[in-house]
Structure 1
Amino acid sequence: MLDPKILLLGSGFVAGPTVEYILRRPENHLTIACRRIAAAEALAKQFSRAKSESIDVTNEGALDEIVSRHDLVISLIPYTNHPLVLKSAIKFGKNVVTTSYVSPAMREFHDAAIEKNLTILNEIGLDPGIDHLYAVKTINEVHEADGEIISFISYCGGLPAPECSNNPLGYKFSWSSRGVLLALRNSAKFYQDGKIVEIPGTELMSSAKPYFIYPAFAFLCYANRDSTPFKEYYNIPEAQNIVRGTLRYQGFTDFVKVLVKIGLLDDSNQNYLHFNSPEITWREVIAKVLNTSNNTEDELRKAIKSTIAENEISKDEIERILKGFKWLGLFSDKPIRRCGTLLDTLCATLEEKMQYEEGERDMVILQHKFEIKLKDGTRETWTSTLLEYGKPPGPSAMSTLVGIPCGIAVQLILDGVIKKRGVLAPYTPEIINPIIAELEKEGIKVKEEKL
């Protein structure tokens, strides 16, 4: 395609590496479009052959007009809006790339995309994305040698680097904390010993357990949403264990358990937290949720301890958590920013206290662990491990590992290397092999070991 015109919807934190990669090719021209034109302008001015426009994707006419002027669409907006983008792209015969999971609403466009000879490639960031690439790569290698995958365990964490994990949760927010906290209430479903295991959201944090990758890290792991479809997606019907999950530093899950127990992740509206209600302090809020009239710090500490069952959390850990509450200002007598719900009011506090400071770096760690049965009956453990750090003042590890795979997928579609049609995810060799080759040219390489 000569001088392709690419439309990028969204200008969030992963957009920069995507734009940088795409505009390395001198023939590419890019339009960055989002609702807030200032954000698009700020990103576009960093690059030649990039321009900015304002777009409300819920305005069908405006979306159709801008999509019709471009050759390929990248959608980095919230996944709930992807069906609007797909509808417009199919109408005008444009290929699409997203980093989001394929939702049922997106899957409905599969037949139409095939009919229009279009590639709509999704799940091509980090998680989902790079995780798929190296899972399928190893699984295919084992199957081609007549081996079996007995167990597939995969955990990924986007975290502050160890030296920057200096707060009670060992976590920092580079975007809205609301989605992070809401995910902690999701139920989980996976295969264990050939049977489906379900963990309700109320018990997810209690299910966390230590997970060893390198001696320098004290990780906890817990399952993430529904892992059971990956028996089909990854073509491992023989697998007895299939778990995909999340990594956090030690201490995270116990802290969250206490937040949940006292009700601070409640997203129902509270009159006393309405923006025009009287001023209120965190100390008064904590007293309300604990249903106590005495809001001294000592009494609040006692009330919080009383919510924790004996042997559920160690005494030393409870003391650490209470110190963390104080560090966050949850025993403070200063007026808080009222955001309507306990969850959103807590998010405002977390985002204020737990942002990355200038010069601080993030870290991404991903590991697949495969229990393999070889053709001769021998059993081995294979691992695929990715460890990446952000490079201040440059891009974060997370933005690099989401944005670069997205950019690579775009270029491979433009170059005609990826030819598969329909609403797709990177589960097949004709998609994953060329992307892996380009990732490794960027220095993004998973360490593969056989133990």
Structure 2
Amino acid sequence: MSNLNRKILLLGNGFVAGPCLRYLLRREENIVTIASRRVESGEKLAKGHKRAIPIALDVNDDAALEKEIAKHDIVISLIPYTHHARVIGASIKHKKHVVTTSYVSPAMEAHDAAAKEAGVTIFNEIGVDPGIDHLYAIKTIEEVHAEGGKVLSFLSYCGGLPAPEASNNPLGYKFSWSSRGVLLALRNNARYVENGKPVDVPGAELMDSAKPIYIYPAFAFEGYPNRDSTPYNKRYNIPECKTVLRGTLRYQGFPKFVKVLVALGFLNDEEKDFLHESSAAIAWNAVLAKSLNSQSASEADLIKAVKAKAGLKDDDESERVIRGLKWLGLFSETPVTKRGNILDTLCATLEDKMQYQAGERDMVMLQHKFDVELKDGTKQSRTSTGLWFGEPNGDTAMAVTVGVPCAITTQLILDGKITRTGVLAPMDMELAGPLIKALEDEGIKMVDEIL
């Protein structure tokens, strides 16, 4: 590919796009078109960058999308994953490469044969989770196999969280993206492999499955399984592995608090007449009373009803939950922002009270733990650990650890260092090796230890 005028189409202008854009613009030959529904959004991102060109583009307009794709050498899709298959299809038609940070969906995978025939690379799952987690899992697994060993157990936990000093609310969590998306994920079913057998966790029991996860003594984490881990024996080429679990990290107390919200019906998105925008104003204590079928909206009566409904005992943990509900204002006469159902109405309050404030920073914690049997029968544990903090009033850790790997992958494709075609994810060292090296050059790395 020529070094002159490499044209990159960046779809989306969310918080991840900034670090991605700045990395790509280090190279004088790169010109980045920032496409967003409203050109003003792209203009804000492009400000101060001579080779960044903001445009307005509706990705649902197939003709307009294809017209822009045809002008460029490669497409980065940072828009919601539901649009990726459309973008990939249009890109293959015009023989353009694509990079996304999203999991490969069946709709995306369906384009594999066409991508190979067109000779284009469709590279996915290259953020932090999925992304950096894949790279260092593959690295250790291939090292163990090269030594003649076996991976008997693979446990991986990742969390995007407030830094400790910013975890100052009942959930120990703050929203850098859709609060609805975060809460809906807590209703997902999960599946993993334990001692050679699949274990299914219904969404209603997901928080019950949470347990303490010990990484560094300074952190009190709990973790629970994330989505479906059962394909990873095959994806990571560890058929011998008897336990495989990929999970989510949260601060201690988060699962208990969410479990109470579930018990109270606050993760329910069923429409409620009294929460329609056109309905009369209503306070949080009245909403809670309706949810609990309580005749009284007094704080004392509501607390009793909450404890009964959620099965809370009179202990310190329960008191912490009650204090958290008070902090959210659920026992108060504060008017709610009505959004049609309890879940979205709760989200309005969470978004108001649980945003990052000026000067606060986030962090990303990721650890793999491998139980290994060596060729001579010796058993050992290996870990790969990454901890990254955001910059106060600057880039978040999440934006950097998603945006920079995405940009690096894009650059490696442009430079001809990744040439494999089809719908890809970094599942072997041929793909993962160059990415690890480039990431470590940026100071983004995981630390490997043998225990």
Q: TM-score, normalised by structure 1?
A: 0.99
- Counterpart in the other structure of 1:113: 115
- Supply the distance in 1 between the matched residues of 2:366 and 2:271 (Cα, whole angstroms): 37
- Counterpart in the other structure of 1:75: 77
> Any conservation in 1 of the 2:283–2:335 contact (CA below 8 Å)?
yes
- Measured against aligned partners, the alpha-carbon deviations of 1:111-169 in whole angstroms (never above 9, x if no partner) come to 00000000000000000000000000100011111100000000001000001100000
Find the residue that maps to 2:76 and give its secondary structure.
Answer: strand
- Measured against aligned partners, the alpha-carbon deviations of 1:73-96 in whole angstroms (never above 9, x if no partner) come to 000000001011011101111000
> Any conservation in 2 of the 1:137–1:429 contact (CA below 8 Å)?
yes
- Supply the distance in 1 between the matched residues of 2:317 and 2:207 (Cα, whole angstroms): 15
- The match for 1:248 among 247, 250, 256 is 250
- Counterpart in the other structure of 2:175: 173
Q: Which consecutive residues of structure 1, in runs of 5 or more, have no partner in the other structure?
A: none
**Residue 314 and residue 190 in structure 1: after superposition, are their counterparts in 2 closer, same or farther (change >3 A)?**
farther
**Sequence identity of aligned pairs in percent?**
59
**Residue 382 and residue 329 in structure 1: after superposition, are their counterparts in 2 closer, same or farther (change >3 A)?**
same
- Supply the distance in 2 between the matched residues of 1:61 and 1:428 (Cα, whole angstroms): 36
Find the residue that maps to 1:419 and give its secondary structure.
Answer: coil
Aligned-pair CA distance for 1:308: 2.7
- Counterpart in the other structure of 1:319: 319
1:383 equivalenced with 2:383 (yes/no)? yes
- Supply the distance in 1 between the matched residues of 2:203 and 2:303 (Cα, whole angstroms): 26
Find the residue that maps to 1:85 and give its secondary structure.
Answer: helix
- Counterpart in the other structure of 1:91: 93
- The match for 2:196 among 186, 194, 197 is 194
- Supply the distance in 2 between the matched residues of 1:309 and 1:303 (Cα, whole angstroms): 10
Aligned-pair CA distance for 1:428: 1.6
- Supply the distance in 1 between the matched residues of 2:261 and 2:393 (Cα, whole angstroms): 33
Aligned-pair CA distance for 1:36: 2.2
- The match for 1:100 among 102, 123, 127 is 102
> Any conservation in 1 of the 2:16–2:402 contact (CA below 8 Å)?
yes
- Supply the distance in 2 between the matched residues of 1:386 and 1:261 (Cα, whole angstroms): 35
- The match for 1:218 among 209, 217, 220 is 220
Give the aligned residue type for 2:99: V
Find the residue that maps to 2:143 and give its secondary structure.
Answer: helix
- Supply the distance in 2 between the matched residues of 1:36 and 1:299 (Cα, whole angstroms): 49
Find the residue that maps to 2:310 and give its secondary structure.
Answer: coil
- 1:118-267 matches, within 5 Å, as 118-267=120-269
**Residue 70 and residue 161 in structure 1: after superposition, are their counterparts in 2 closer, same or farther (change >3 A)?**
same
- Supply the distance in 2 between the matched residues of 1:37 and 1:28 (Cα, whole angstroms): 20
- Supply the distance in 1 between the matched residues of 2:170 and 2:40 (Cα, whole angstroms): 35
Q: TM-score, normalised by structure 2?
A: 0.99
Give the aligned residue type for 2:387: L
- Supply the distance in 2 between the matched residues of 1:195 and 1:309 (Cα, whole angstroms): 32
**Residue 314 and residue 409 in structure 1: after superposition, are their counterparts in 2 closer, same or farther (change >3 A)?**
farther
Give the aligned residue type for 2:367: Q
- Measured against aligned partners, the alpha-carbon deviations of 1:185-236 in whole angstroms (never above 9, x if no partner) come to 1111000011100110000001100010011100001000100001100000
- Moved beyond 3 Å, runs of 4+: none
Give the aligned residue type for 2:397: A
What number of residue pairs does the alignment pair up?
449
- Supply the distance in 1 between the matched residues of 2:113 and 2:36 (Cα, whole angstroms): 28
Give the aligned residue type for 1:73: V
Give the aligned residue type for 1:53: I
- Supply the distance in 1 between the matched residues of 2:361 and 2:71 (Cα, whole angstroms): 38
Q: Which consecutive residues of structure 2, in runs of 5 or more, have no partner in the other structure?
A: none
- The match for 1:32 among 34, 51, 54 is 34
- Measured against aligned partners, the alpha-carbon deviations of 1:305-329 in whole angstroms (never above 9, x if no partner) come to 001336xx66211111111111111
- Supply the distance in 2 between the matched residues of 1:231 and 1:194 (Cα, whole angstroms): 10
> Any conservation in 2 of the 1:156–1:367 contact (CA below 8 Å)?
yes
Give the aligned residue type for 1:198: D
Find the residue that maps to 1:307 and give its secondary structure.
Answer: helix
- Counterpart in the other structure of 2:429: 429
- Supply the distance in 2 between the matched residues of 1:126 and 1:334 (Cα, whole angstroms): 39
- The match for 1:43 among 42, 45, 64 is 45
Judge which range, 118-127 or 314-323, deviates more: 314-323
Question: Once superposed, what is the RMSD of the aligned Cα atoms?
Answer: 0.8
> Any conservation in 1 of the 2:158–2:248 contact (CA below 8 Å)?
yes
Find the residue that maps to 1:88 and give its secondary structure.
Answer: helix
> Any conservation in 2 of the 1:45–1:51 contact (CA below 8 Å)?
no
- Counterpart in the other structure of 1:438: 438
